[in-house]
Structure 1
Amino acid sequence: MFKVAVIGGSGLLGRALNEELARQVGWQIVTTAFSRPSLQLVALDVRDSFAVERFIEHVAPDAVVIAAAERRPDVCERDPALARALNVDAVRTIARAANRNGAWTLSISTDYVFDGTRPPYRHDSTPRPLNAYGQSKLEGERALIETADLGCVLRLPLLYGPIVNWSESAVTSLVPAIAASAAPDGQTATMDAWAIRYPTFTPDVAVVIRQMLERHGRGETISGIVQWSGNEPMNKYEIAVRLAAALQLNAHLTPQRAPTDSTRRPHNCHLTSSRLEALGIGRRTPFDVAIGQVLAKLPWRGSASPVGSDSSRPRG
């Protein structure tokens, strides 16, 4: 029996990972959640070091995947202590507990560890984060590498996938404004056309992680830093145009050619995926196909309009 602990399994990536790993014969998956525990998810606050240590000791996993994080750049700027607690200290605590059980630890990081001025970025390129989020994730990478006897960092760019509310991803968070602009009395929606992103489908990432876990199970453990990314560059304006087409909305959109975010963000952090590709690891679903799958699986599909469905559903 190969046992995997998924820390932070109720979020955007965690849910896709649970679904992928649950298909594996002979694997036992134990998943935690903070804001949305359930009968299938163990309640765990990763900021509670004693609770983390008890959980790891009780489960005794062969591998631990850390999907819990504070991923919102604006929140990290306002509350750097929270960002550090979730993105740095928790990683160190989990890695230390995993060491005592001989488990491999995989920690998720971000393309925002780079400043976006000299893409594409390799796994061994020099990080230079522009904001508190990127800095906290870089420090989390270092905490993992310094602490884990068996550890790996997986850097990922902008993620999207099956959602429980529009705001779960910066991709689908554009939908309410797109839909509002398509209303009979709607105003034109301005969308960022400056920052270049590489939207990456969470079920594809889940396959990548499953393949990495399989290698660990065979004794071919991957260590250090690896990266995975979609291969279709687009800005938010271009994403919005494709979302409008998928939703069959006659949206009124206009591009904003200069950065306007209150928190500084990088221009283009394209990640190379060459290290994983060389190992035969990876899957990429075309954006238009993947976003069609996301929209087809909306939990409120048919019961509410795109504008009325962002709502107050809990975050992962």
Structure 2
Amino acid sequence: MAPVVVIGAGGYLGSRLLDDVSQEVAAIGVVRSADEPDAEVADLLEDDGVEAVAEVCRDAIVFYCANVGGRQAAIAAPTAARRINCDVPARLAEVARKFVYFSTDYVFSQPGRLSPDTPCSPDSTYAHTKAAGERRVLAAAPQSLIVRVSGLYDDDGTRGRTFRAGETINASDNRHTTPTYVPDLVRAVKQMVDRDERGIRHVVGPATLSDYEFHQLASLRWGFTVRPVLATERRDGPVLVAEPSGAVRHPTEVFRSPRADHGTELRVFDCVGVLLGARTWKHPDPLLWTAEESRLPQQGRLVDDPGLLADMYAPNWRLWTTVCRAPAIKILANNGKQASFEKWVERYRLDLIFDRTINSERDAAEKPGPAFAHIVHTLAGHRTVTLYDDSREITTGAQRHGWATALAVRTALWPVSAYTCERRTLPWAP
């Protein structure tokens, strides 16, 4: 079996790859540090260091995780970025039996869903050096594998943050990535190497999420509070179309706790106004309103496009974690269009969080009407029922079914409206 070499073994991805590879591995660190006792440290900024590493890589399977990035680091050290991201991997690919180069979604600057054969459009020093690295590696060794990734994370955190229970995280709602679970990434790439795949592959998660949305999903396990903020540099950016599709799990699949039958209570949560709040920062967005005005004659009316409408809402930061971790059988209910509701279910994998979802259009059951009540009573059995909603009319109607209720009240507006719930009210008695 060919020897395995991990370049950049002290970094975020390299250290996790090193832990996962079962056979004996040559681990090469690229930063001089006493914190890398298990890695042979080589200075890839020096020719002698590169040639020494090339000898280790000769006829080996090489995973190249070394990197000078992101954007600010590359701007601060453009010569080092060019060498580490482009020149050195091209040299090592020449001597390796199989060379795996980890690249990035930053090689694209245009928005949209982009496939591996979409032409690159780099717009920064970092992006240019990574795009050039891809080209140089494939030119030096056509049997190489280029793996583009986005938004790396594992069970305990991201490249820049370790998750801690009980903390409060400020996370931007106007910068997006395609979160990629590192253990799934490593497994998929190892399988590609075993199949001797070559060329460019996108190995990313299935959902495009803002930093705020992603951290709310991580809070399903960790229980921290996430507050939405706006980054000064907005990035809607590219969405990498995953190859192979389905290889990387959705963050909800990674972070959710197994559903359990808690036995004594069933809770019904309104979707918009309890679980989700309006993205108020999007209302003045010129692109959004220009698209609407070109489609609709009446200015000020909500968009009819289900995707645009769904994107105007995000997790309610006051209640998201409390609702999703509630120790009860949970129903998510929505009086509204099926198309936009199902986009929320897909985006956050709400079907994995809630035991049942009810949409008025899809299920012909508008809360708190008789058809809706029938579904709830059938699921509840002998359990008590509590409904949480931001409409007093709906909570009053629910009390007539013998349910307890809690009225959600808006307590914050910008940048994502937040709702909190009043104390539960006992069922209405005639």
CA distance in 1, matches of 2:226, 2:203: 33
- Identify the structure with bigger relative contact order (alpha carbons < 8 Å, sequence gap 6+): 1
Structure 2 residue aligned with 1:199: 179
**Residues 171-210 of structure 1: pairs in structure 2 closer than 5 A:** 172=161, 179-180=167-168, 189=170, 191-210=171-190
Whether 1:224 and 2:199 are equivalent positions in the alignment is yes
CA distance in 2, matches of 1:254, 1:149: 44
State the number of aligned residues: 255
Q: Tell me if 1:152 matches 2:142.
A: no
**Aligned AA for 2:211?**
K
Task: Give the match for residue 109 of structure 1.
Answer: 103
Which residue of 233, 236, 260 corresponds with 2:232?
260
Q: Tell me, yes or no, if the aligned pair for 1:53 and 1:97 is still in contact at 8 Å.
A: no
Tell me how far apart the structure 2 counterparts of residues 96 and 34 of structure 1 sit (CA, whole Å).
Answer: 19
Letter in 2 for 1:132: T
Question: Which has the larger strand fraction?
Answer: 2
State, as a whole percentage, how many aligned pairs show the same letter: 22
Are the aligned partners of 2:143 and 2:199 in contact in 1 as well (CA < 8 Å)?
no
- Counterpart in the other structure of 2:12: 12
Report the residue type matching 2:227 in the other structure. Answer: L
> Residues 45-87 of structure 1, C-alpha deviation per residue, up to 9 Å, x if partnerless?
2223332322332454432111110132221123222221211
State the AA in 2 paired with 1:223. R
1:285 aligns with 2:249: yes
Match of 1:2, SS state, is coil
TM-score w.r.t. structure 1 length? 0.71
Q: Distance in 2 between matches of 1:210 and 1:49?
A: 30
| 1:269 match | 238
Counterpart CA distance in 1 for 2:10 and 2:209 is 28
Q: 1:52 to 1:78 in 2, by over 3 A?
A: closer
CA–CA distance in structure 2, aligned partners of residues 74 and 58 of structure 1: 31
Deviation at 1:222, TM superposition (A): 2.0
2-structure distance, mates of 1:148, 1:252: 45
| Alignment map for 1:212-251 (pairs within 5 Å) | 212-215=192-195, 221-249=196-224, 251=225
Unaligned stretches of 5+ residues in structure 1:
182-188, 216-220, 294-316
1-side partners of 2:51 and 2:142: how far apart?
16
Higher radius of gyration, 1 or 2? 2
Q: Does 1:169 align with 2:162?
A: no
Change in Cα spacing, 1:58 to 1:72, as seen in structure 2 (3 Å) is closer
Q: How does 1:15-94 map to 2 (within 5 A)?
A: 15-22=15-22, 27-35=23-31, 36=33, 38-58=36-56, 60-94=58-92
CA distance in 1, matches of 2:236, 2:168: 27
**Contact 2:184–2:248 (Cα < 8 Å) also in 1:** yes
Change beyond 3 A, Cα 1:291–1:74: farther
User: What is the deviation of 1:240?
Assistant: 2.9
Aligned residue number for residue 311 of structure 1: none
Structure with greater helix percent: 1
Distance 1:130 1:229 in 2: 21
TM-aligned CA deviation for residue 273 of structure 1: 2.1
Secondary structure of the 1:270 match is strand
Consecutive unaligned residues of structure 2, counting only runs of 5 or more, are 258-430
Q: CA deviation at 1:234?
A: 0.9
> Post-superposition shift, 1:109?
0.5
Amino acid at match of 1:195: R
